[in-house]
Structure 1
Amino acid sequence: MKRIFKQMYPYILPYKTHVIWNVIYSLLYAFFGTLAFVTLIPMLSVLFDKTRRVLIEPKYTGITNIKDYASDLLSYKLTLYTNSNQPEKALLLTIILIIATFFLKNIVGYLSSYHMMHLRNGVSNDVRKMMFNKIISLPIPFFSERRKGDVMTRMLGDIGEVQNSFFAILDLIIKEPLTIIFSIVTMFYISTKLTLFVFIFLPISGLIISRIGKSLKSKSLQVQNESGNLISVVEETLTGLKVVKAYNAEPLFKAKFGGILDRILKLSNSIGSKNNLASPMSEFMGIVTIATLLWYGGHLVLIDKSIDGSVFITYMGLAYNILTPAKAITKASYALKNGLAAADRVFEIIDEPNTIANKPNAITKEDFKEKITLENINFAYQEENVLKNFSIEVPKGKTVALVGQSGSGKSTIANLLTRFYDVQSGAIKVDDIDIKDMTVESLRGLLGIVTQDSILFNDSIKNNLLIGKPDASDEEIINALKIANAYEFVKDLAEGIHTNIGDAGGRLSGGQKQRLSIARAVLKNPPIMILDEATSALDTESEKHVQVALENMMQNRTSIVIAHRLSTIQKADNIVVMQKGEIVEQGTHDELLNKNGTYAKLVSMQSFE
């Protein structure tokens, strides 16, 4: 609990004004709540004709004596009315006093909740922003080890759980305990003996109730983990729905989804049973205490006659006034177990160290002048090396192609150049500056990338392209579309560049999506272009359109082309042939054919002339 408060503190600090006012109004709420019961004493005294007689109007002598002054003044007014045969006026005065006290209690209660609302919503909003910013900034390896559904659950569900349960207890931790404290102080003032008797039973009640909720946090954590799995299954099923249907795998995925739901149901019922038990259990234990108090207090009123009947009724009201906040605290403390489990999962992401971050004195590089160098690169995703002592040089303005069978390490080069991953040994340099010594932002500002999978967003064509250059004009966008050989189909769309392309560009063909990806890179206009198998997923006709777009884009630009289809790289200045992470040969297309080595075999296998 202490650790979570420490983690939440920086997010609560900007809302300290709301915290202060919440504390002030909670203090007043507890005060007026207790005072409301105390004002019952004069009303009951009037009803039972037990009013304390004060015949001389009291004098105000200062703030230190205000309690006695207020009590004497009220008794004086009531004495005047009863002595003049106007008991109904005395009763009306006490009723007005009670109404005024309850009115003030509810006004300050509303103001307390008002400030807590701003605190709760503001902090939740800031934590959600921080978590999204952290998710965006974390390196690619982090997500290769986690399910997207789990991250989404933490972002959406867990923060909501923190908002609902953690801040509920934050509200109660001031308001309700103060109500209990004020009530107990007043009870001690009325009767020390009776209050000590009550305290014999309270620890027993607390012990019984606390034992019920011990296992709630671990079960809440299990539910939240299973919820992450549930969202992952839904996301994966919808993404791969064609495969699911094509292989008649619906029963398999239904069973997987149903199994997770059944586990969540079992855990939720277990948690719900204990949560539901909290309220009746705390109320029952409270009533047992009240009943015992009635027996003992009745003895003091009827036999010992050490307490007046009207005072004892008020005392009972105060004792019951403890039950409501105690019940609320018990219920909230059970809910807090869910909130703490959710907060653990949220801060696990927020506190995750970024393994690919800028060095303290990182260089901001704004241009590319000479060359890209990869020097003795070694890299392994897990244990087996994907790249082994890999070295190449890419001069400015030249096109270097990387070819080889699947698993030879071609796409890894793209991941390392963009610093999606960092090399384990060796160095990648741009103009003789190690990319680890550059800011990640300035490095990626020099790069444009077109991948095999056209990653587009559910937005307009224009907004998809503006990711590359947010301040681009419509004219620049259209020009980029023309270079990418994409304007021919965009201009025929009903809304042109303002057409929404659907989820992941689902309203477009594969070739159209790829040309938009190229247009996005063209609009950014970076000095270095990385093409990672940009045509391998396309049919022959689409490939021709895209190949023209690529050639247009690569003119007068430094390009690293990762190719599966060798027909796309025959004009490259240097073709690097890779096998199991090592270079086996390199040269131009014609030079490599004349060697009649690995490249020639690959060309032959693809029936390329």
Structure 2
Amino acid sequence: MSNSKDKFFDYNLFKRLFEFIKPYKFVFFGLIISVVLLAVLSAAVPKLTELAIDDSMTNKDKEGFVFYVTLMFGTLIFQTIFQLLFMYYASWLGQSLVKDVRVNLFNHLLSFKMKYYDQSSVGVLITRSVADMERIADIFGQGLFMIFRDLLTMAVVFGVMLYTNVKLSLIVVLMLPILIYATRIFQKYMKKAFEEVRSEVSNLNSFVQERLTGMKILQVFTRESIEFEKFKTINERHKKGWLKTVWYNSFFFPIAELFGSVTIGLVAWYGGLNIGVTSSVSQGVLVSFIMFIPMLFRPLRQIADKFNTLQMGMVAANRVFKVLDTTSHIDDSGTQLAEAFKGNIRFDKVRFSYVEEEEVLKGISFNVNAGETIAIVGATGAGKSTIINLLNRFYEIKDGNILVDDVNIKAFTLQSLRNQIAVVLQDVFLFADTIMSNITLDHPEVSEADVISAAKEIGVHEFISSLPNGYQYNVKERGVMLSSGQRQLISFLRAYVTNPSILVLDEATSSVDSHSEQLIQDATDKITKGRTSIVIAHRLATVKKADKIIVMDAGEIVEQGTHDELLKKENGYYKNLYEVQFLQEKVA
């Protein structure tokens, strides 16, 4: 990505944007033609006015005057039509391009590894996907083509002025360099101001998004006043950023207006003194120059204004392309399709760390035979959930190998691998959609009949049917309309209907009531039968039936065996955990 700082126009950045314009190249070149026609038509009206005055009014030629007025009227009509088409298709092109860029960005975000999201702000990514995209659309709808139109209009107008009267044109030329220099200074400061504005917008979006998501925590710990003060500080910085742009605009545009008025005055003074004295200045020429000068100076002011839009768009495009240029993907070079696993799993000396030099897994090795149910237990931070993350290839391991049915999981395509592994998490995420959509995730191969049949098998059909609209009940954002136990049941059913080769329950019963837990336990017995299953749990009572229990501590496996075998170990880690939990439950 090229550095666009202090550049009026970043060619490399626009070159990348032009790749998205290619499908709409006919519209793009049509707009270029429209710009040329608009510039010519704009200059034609003052010239026709000059001819009407000098050739017809002075000679009292009514027919000639009507002819010129008719030409002016027709020119204005064509100018209006082309202006309408130009404005519409410039915006259409911007929105079409942004649609394609947004699709690319979202597709890119979908493929990022979990580590990227661990280190990124959701609010900032939302800003990139929504607000920044609209600024990119403005590059074409309100910026680039407008600037090109204004520059070409200025060039055509000034060319006609020179052709008409050189001396009057020189008066205008004397004022132009000062205004051009002022415009360049204005552009430089506005670029810096808009970079600051975009940064503060991202900070504001990120802050608000996080606080709204965590509102319950803020209220539970009575942090409202503290967070309100933080918000006021961030909002104040946002306001100051915008006020800089307002100040620069307030300073520049009156100065530009002043230069235009002074130039008109000088032309009127010089032309008025010379009307009739020299043949080069006539009433028509003077009137046409008075009409030409705003057409020369106003575009220059508009260019400065549209430059603001262009700069905001360029800054936004630069930010979006930085995300698109981010290479944070799990290697998906595997070619083998994972269709139906037998379910043999082997971890061979696997090492992994979320942060460099802080190993979470320290060379662990274990085997799971096809059809077995194994449990992984241990204290918080022992590395239990990390095993599941690595099995699904959400993260890349540092060293060692993970094999399923004696094949390294890197040999499988990511999608086919994950299709064979169903995970039920402790923190259930439901989308703001119907229960049916949250269960099927709109998978075409899972029908409503399949869902209802599965729900009846595991005993949750009655609960879902009791809700308003049943399976079409909208659970709202993050499933807030359901209890934690009900959300967990929906999550379990979502895993069940996929008919996975490997089932993973990650603390799946830690936040449910006894009735829901019994439903899940009954369903677990059904779904795990003949299927490899991995159960991660703090509550050891839920893992007694496991074929094997793996006990972890600080990223290492300290014990393995059945429940009964582990209880027989004197001063065993598992035995101590079990006895402590048993005593706590007994006291409770």
1:44 aligns with 2:53: yes
Q: 1:605 aligns with which of 565, 571, 580?
A: 580
Picking from 81, 91, 109, the partner of 1:135 is 109
Q: Shift in Å at residue 190 of structure 1?
A: 1.3
Query: Which deviates more from structure 2 when the two are superposed, residues 307-316 or residues 107-116?
Result: 307-316
Partner of 1:2: 11
Structure 1 SS opposite 2:481: coil
| 8 Å CA contact 1:449, 1:521 repeated in 2 | yes
Distance 1:397 1:256 in 2: 53
| Equivalent residue letter for 1:371 | N
Q: Secondary structure of 1:89's partner?
A: helix
1:405–1:579 CA contact under 8 A, matched in 2: yes
**In the alignment, structure 1 residue 408 sits paired with structure 2 residue 382:** yes
In the alignment, structure 1 residue 253 sits paired with structure 2 residue 227: yes
Task: Output the CA distance in 2 between the equivalents of 1:226 and 1:240.
Answer: 21
Task: Find the counterpart in structure 1 of residue 418 from structure 2.
Answer: 444
Contact 1:593 1:599 in 2 (8 A): yes
Aligned-pair CA distance for 1:607? 0.2
The code of the aligned residue for 2:28 comes to: V
Separation in 2 of the partners of 1:208 and 1:218? 16
Residues 358, 307 of structure 1: alpha-carbon distance in 2 compared, 3 angstrom cutoff: same
**1:380 corresponding residue in structure 2:** 353
Contact 1:468–1:521 under 8 Å retained in 2: no
Matched, 1:362 2:335: yes
CA distance in 2, matches of 1:384, 1:595: 31
Bigger radius of gyration: 1
| Match status 1:144 vs 2:118 | yes
Match of 1:459 in 2: 433
Counterpart in the other structure of 1:70: none
Take 2:344 and 2:222, find their aligned partners in 1: how far apart are those partners?
52
Question: Would you say 1:330 and 2:304 are equivalent positions?
Answer: yes
Determine if contact 2:454/2:493 at 8 Å carries over to the other structure: yes
Label 1:278 to 1:343 Cα distance change in 2 as closer, same or farther (>3 A): farther
Moved more, 568-577 or 466-475: 466-475
Letter paired with 1:3: N
Cα distance in 2 for residues equivalent to 1:255 and 1:165? 36
Counterpart residue number, 2:238: 264
Distance 1:524 1:130 in 2: 28
Query: 1:302, CA displacement in angstroms?
Result: 5.2
Deviation at 1:303, TM superposition (A): 4.3
**Matches of 2:329 and 2:306, distance apart in 1:** 38
Question: Do the aligned residues in 2 keep the contact of 1:139 with 1:354 (CA within 8 Å)?
Answer: yes
- Counterparts of 1:450-489 in structure 2 under 5 Å? 450-467=424-441, 469-489=443-463
Match of 1:238 in 2: 212
Q: Which residue pairs with 1:575 in the alignment?
A: 549
Preserved CA contact (<8 Å) 1:29 1:106 = no
Residue 71 (structure 1) aligns with: none
**Equivalence for 2:521:** 547
Cα separation, partners in 2 of 1:484 and 1:256, compared to 1, 3 Å: farther
CA pair 219-428 structure 1, distance change in 2 beyond 3 A: farther
Counterpart amino acid of residue 372 in structure 1: I
Equivalent AA in structure 2 for residue 365 of structure 1: A
Q: Which secondary structure does the structure 2 equivalent of 1:530 belong to?
A: strand
- In structure 2, the residue matched to 1:123 is 97
Whole-Å separation in 1 of the counterparts to 2:55 and 2:19:
54
CA distance, structure 1, for counterparts of residue 406 and residue 267 of structure 2: 85
> Does structure 2 retain, via aligned residues, the 8 Å contact 1:140–1:420?
yes
Spell out the pairing of 1:8-407 with structure 2 (5 A cutoff): 8-46=17-55, 48-50=57-59, 87-165=61-139, 167-301=141-275, 303-359=277-333, 362-369=335-342, 371-382=344-355, 383-407=357-381
Work out the CA distance in 1 between the residues paired with 2:259 and 2:382. 71
Aligned partner letter, 1:535? T
Secondary structure of the corresponding residue to residue 607 of structure 1? helix
Looking at structure 1, the residues matched to 252 and 108 of structure 2 have their Cα atoms a distance apart, in angstroms, of 37
Distance 1:539 1:378 in 2: 36
Paired with 2:193 and 2:148, the residues of 1 have a C-alpha distance of 28
Partner of 1:67 in structure 2?
A: none
Query: How far 1:284 sits from its partner (Å)?
Result: 2.1
Deviations 1:120-158 (A, max 9, x none): 111122222222222222111111111211111221111
Taking the aligned partners of 1:336 and 1:274, their CA distance within structure 2 comes to: 16
Distance 1:276 1:483 in 2: 70
1:198-230 deviation per Cα after TM superposition (whole angstroms, max 9, x unaligned): 323212211122213323333323332332332
Unaligned runs of 5+ in 1: 51-81
Preserved contact between residue 153 and residue 228 of structure 1 (Cα < 8 Å): yes
Query: Cα 1:132–1:579, aligned 2, differ >3 Å: closer, same or farther?
Result: same
Q: Secondary structure at the match of 2:558?
A: strand
Aligned partners of 2:351, 2:73: CA distance in 1, in Å?
80
1:455 match: secondary structure: coil
| Post-superposition offset of 1:585 | 0.9
Q: Please say if 1:423 is aligned against 2:397.
A: yes
Give the structure-2-normalised TM-score. 0.93
Q: Say if 2:440 and 2:494, in contact at 8 Å, map to a contact too.
A: yes
Please give the secondary structure, in 1, of the residue aligned with 2:497. helix
Moved over 6 A (4+): none
- Structure 2 contact 147–307 (Cα < 8 Å) conserved: no
| Alpha-carbon distance between aligned partners in 2 of 1:295 and 1:413, rounded to the nearest angstrom | 86
1:95 Cα deviation after fit? 1.1
TM-score (normalised: structure 1): 0.90
- Name which of structure 1's ranges 349-358 and 518-527 shifts more when overlaid on structure 2: 349-358
User: How far off its partner does 1:468 sit?
Assistant: 7.2
Q: Within 2, Cα distance between the matches of 1:200 and 1:485?
A: 87
Distance 2:187 2:86 in 1: 28
Question: What is the Cα deviation at residue 341 of structure 1?
Answer: 2.0
Looking at structure 2, the residues matched to 460 and 497 of structure 1 have their Cα atoms a distance apart, in angstroms, of 7
Q: Deviations over 1:134-186 (max 9, x none)?
A: 22221111111112111112211111222235542222133222211211221
Deviation at residue 349 of structure 1 after TM alignment: 1.5
> Does the C-alpha gap of structure 1 residues 297 and 394 become closer, same or farther in structure 2, counting only changes over 3 Å?
farther
SS of alignment partner, residue 41 of structure 1:
helix
Question: For 1:3, what is the secondary structure of its paired residue?
Answer: helix
Query: What RMSD in Å do the two structures reach over aligned CA positions?
Result: 2.0
Q: Say whether the 8 Å CA contact 1:282–1:330 is kept in structure 2.
A: no
Q: What amino acid maps onto 1:11 in structure 2?
A: F
- The answer to whether the Cα contact below 8 Å between 2:351 and 2:359 also exists between their aligned partners in 1 is yes
Is 1:557 matched with 2:519?
Answer: no
Instruction: Provide, for residues 492-517 of structure 1, a one-character-per-residue CA deviation record: whole Å limited to 9, x for no partner.
Output: 22311111122211111111111110
Deviations 1:451-483 (A, max 9, x none): 001111111111111117433222211122123
CA deviations 1:418-462 (Å, max 9, x no partner) are 111110111212223222232111111111010001111111111
Secondary structure of residue in 1 paired with 2:422: strand
Structure 2 SS opposite 1:385: coil
Which one is further off, 415-424 or 297-306? 297-306
Shift of 1:280: 2.6
Distance 1:6 1:484, change over 3 A: farther
Partner residue in 1 for 2:490: 516
Identity of aligned residues (%): 35
Return closer, same or farther for 1:227/1:117 CA change in 2, 3 Å cut-off: closer
